[in-house]
Each structure stands twice: as C-alpha cells, then as structure tokens.
C-alpha cells in the first residue's frame, strides 16, 4: 500500500507532467520545447548526480561519462537498425549500469577527494576512447548520420510534439523513481552514510555495497538523460563525456542547492537560461561562467534553492518562536 507521502509525491509528479504537457500549448514557440528538452536531459544528469553528492556525500567529478555512454550505446544500437527504440533504451541503460558497476567498484572505496579525482580520470579515459575509436564512434565528429526514430507501439517520435511528450513522460517517470529511492529506507541509509560512515558501518550497514548500489543507480539515471539528448539532437558527441559537462552538472547542483530534492532541476533551468543568454552576447562563455561560479561559491556561499529554502525555514522558526512566546 502506498503511504501518504508517496501519494503526495505521485500527485506532484502528475501535476508536473500536466504542466510540462500544457506548457507548449501556452507558449507555442518551438524554441520553448527545445529549451525544456535540454533542461530535461541536463536536469536528469544533475539530479542523478545529486543522489551521489547530496544524499550520499560522494562528490563525483566524472558523471558525464554515464550521460555519454547512454547516448552512444543508444545511438549506435538505433543506427544498427536491428532493435526497436524501447529495447535500445533499455540496452543503453543496462550497458551504462554495467560500466558504472566496474568503475564504481574501483572508486567507491576511496576517500572523498580521491573519489572526485578518480571518477574524473575514468571519465577522461572514456572520453579518449570515444575520440580514438573513430571507426565505431566517429571520433571528434560525433555519431554522424542521424539517429533513426522508427515508430513503435504507434508512437512516432519524428513528430516534434510527440517527441516532446515522450521526453516529458520519461523525465517524470525517472523523477518518481529517484524520489522513491531517496524516500526509501535505502535512501535514509545513504544519508546516514553521508553524515557518519563509521556509525553506519558500526550498525551493520555494508557501506561499500550501499555506495556502489547508489553509484550504479545514479549512473543509469544519468544515462537516461544522455538518451533523451541523443534522441533530441539525433546524434551523440564527445562533448557529452567531456569533463566540462561534469563540471556543469556539479555547478547545477550547487546553483540549485543540495537541500531539496528538486534543487538540481532548478539549477539546470538556471544554468541553461544563463548559457542561452551568454552564448548570444559573447563568445567568452567560459570566462562569464567562471565568474558567475565564483560569485555563487564565494559570495552567496550556497545555491539559490537552498537560499530560498533556508530563508523560509528561518521565517517559519521565527514565527513559531513568536507564537510560543505569546
């Protein structure tokens, strides 16, 4: 039986889905749809990364590797023409899970800063494989020739509105899965590991196995983001697996904040908006982004969603104090 909180989560999810589906009717500009799909793809990347960073305290700097592997496996399978779209999606997710399992098995035993650097190193390894294995991946040109979108179950993704709705449904489904994981006993075990790994170990939790499990789960969720991206741009590019993509994902988390489940999504929206305007006005994208990051990290010292959340909490406690004082 579903608990009350699960029902509430499902209601929120339904609301979000309806909102996403109504949005292109309210704002009929195609650019809006494109923007939302970008937010969905990078939002999945950031939210899955937050399962590691925010909930388990594992700062991974190589998360884009799974984003890229999802995109490439999916793209290659679709180009081969032998499998249907849902099968290719499942295979891409499964393949990425396997990859995350191998990399995770080596990385999760390490202390935090080692972990950050090692995940980065493995990501660059995967990036260099993508670049050098030209016959399979097309090297730095990316997966060329487009990714076919054959009709399945009567769904034709070549129609841009159908594609948009499909991405929205996949996105909301992933959010529900991640929310369920975070709210499950497993999710609370992860929080305990984050706050005090020794105590967790003492209580009989197999810390390494838990970390590995969430590492794999988070990798698979990132791969769904990659699949959405590959489906949308009809290709896969080495930049998907470049370290800057991981860096941006980390910044999205910071921007949105780690306190709230939905925070990274806010970060994804903010960063996509920022990127959109920065690329219009200047070619020195890195310079602007770098300065914005410094302002947030050193000035605000936390993400926007955290900022607002803490402000509300602060107000609530003050109000409570007032009431009890009366």
Minimum Å gap between C-beta 103 and other proteins is 9
- Residue 209 in contact with other proteins, rule: CB under 8 A: no
Instruction: List the structure tokens of 111.
Output: 């202390």
Under the binding rule (CB under 8 A), the answer on residue 10 touching other proteins is: no
SS (H, E, C) 194-236: HHCHHHHHHCCCCHHHHHHHHHHHHHHHHHHHHHHHHHHHCCC
Task: Report how far Cα 76 is from the mean position of its chain's Cα atoms.
Answer: 22
Contacts of other proteins in 55-114 (CB under 8 A): 59, 61, 106, 109-114
Q: Which is nearer to other proteins, 121 or 155 (CB)?
A: 121
Tell me how far the alpha carbon of residue 82 is from its chain's centroid. Answer: 29
Map tokens 């097309």 to a residue: 138
CB of 211 to other proteins, least distance (A): 15
Single out the residue of 85, 88, 89, 120 in contact with other proteins (rule: CB under 8 A). Answer: 120
Give the shortest CB-292-to-other proteins separation in angstroms.
Answer: 8
What is residue 116's three-state secondary structure? helix
Place of tokens 């409570």: 320
Q: x/- binding map, residues 219-248, to other proteins, per CB under 8 A?
A: ------------------------xx--x-
Shortest distance (Å) from residue 293 CB to other proteins: 4
Region of 10-18, 116-124, 206-214, 232-240 interacting with other proteins (CB under 8 A):
116-124
Residues numbered 122 to 141 that lie near other proteins (CB under 8 A) are: 122, 124-125, 128-129, 132-133
- Integer Cα distance of 192 and 190 in angstroms: 5
Give 58-104 as a 3 state SS string.
Answer: CCCCCCHHHHHHHHHHHHHHHHHCCCCHHHHHHHHHHHHHHHHHHHH
Q: Which is nearer to other proteins, 235 or 267 (CB)?
A: 267
User: Is there a contact between 254 and 303 (Cβ–Cβ < 8 Å)?
Assistant: yes
Site for other proteins, rule CB under 8 A: 53, 59, 61, 106, 109-114, 116-118, 120-122, 124-125, 128-129, 132-133, 243-244, 247, 250-251, 253-254, 258, 284-287, 289-291, 293-294, 296-298
């Amino acid at each position: 039986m579903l608990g009350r909180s699960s029902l509430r989560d499902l209601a929120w999810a339904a609301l979000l889905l309806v909102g996403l589906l109504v949005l292109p009717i309210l704002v009929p500009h195609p650019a809006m749809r494109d923007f939302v799909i970008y937010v969905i793809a990078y939002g999945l990347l950031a939210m899955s990364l937050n399962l590691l960073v925010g909930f388990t305290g594992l700062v991974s700097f190589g998360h884009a590797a799974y984003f890229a592997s999802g995109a490439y496996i999916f793209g290659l399978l679709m180009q081969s023409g032998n499998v249907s779209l849902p099968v290719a999606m499942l295979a891409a997710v499964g393949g990425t899970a396997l990859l995350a399992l191998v990399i995770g098995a080596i990385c999760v035993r390490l202390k935090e800063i080692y972990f950050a650097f090692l995940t980065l190193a493995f990501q660059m390894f995967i990036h260099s494989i993508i670049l050098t294995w030209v016959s399979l991946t097309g090297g730095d040109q990316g997966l060329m020739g487009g990714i076919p979108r054959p009709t399945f179950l009567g769904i034709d993704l070549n129609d841009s509105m159908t594609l948009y709705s499909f991405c929205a449904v996949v996105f909301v489904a992933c959010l529900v899965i991640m929310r369920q994981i975070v709210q499950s006993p497993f999710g609370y075990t992860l929080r305990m590991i984050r706050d005090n790994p020794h105590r967790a170990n003492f209580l009989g939790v197999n810390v390494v196995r838990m970390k590995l499990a969430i590492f794999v789960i988070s990798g698979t969720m990132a791969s769904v983001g990659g699949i959405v991206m590959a489906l949308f741009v009809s290709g896969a590019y080495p930049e998907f697996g470049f370290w800057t993509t991981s860096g941006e994902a980390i910044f999205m988390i910071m921007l949105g904040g780690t306190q709230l489940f939905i925070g990274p999504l806010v970060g994804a929206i903010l960063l996509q908006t920022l990127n959109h305007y920065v690329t219009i006005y200047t070619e020195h994208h890195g310079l602007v982004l770098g300065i914005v990051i410094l302002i947030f990290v050193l000035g605000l010292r936390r993400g926007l969603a955290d900022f607002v959340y803490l402000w509300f909490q602060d107000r609530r406690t003050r109000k409570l104090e007032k009431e009890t004082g009366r």
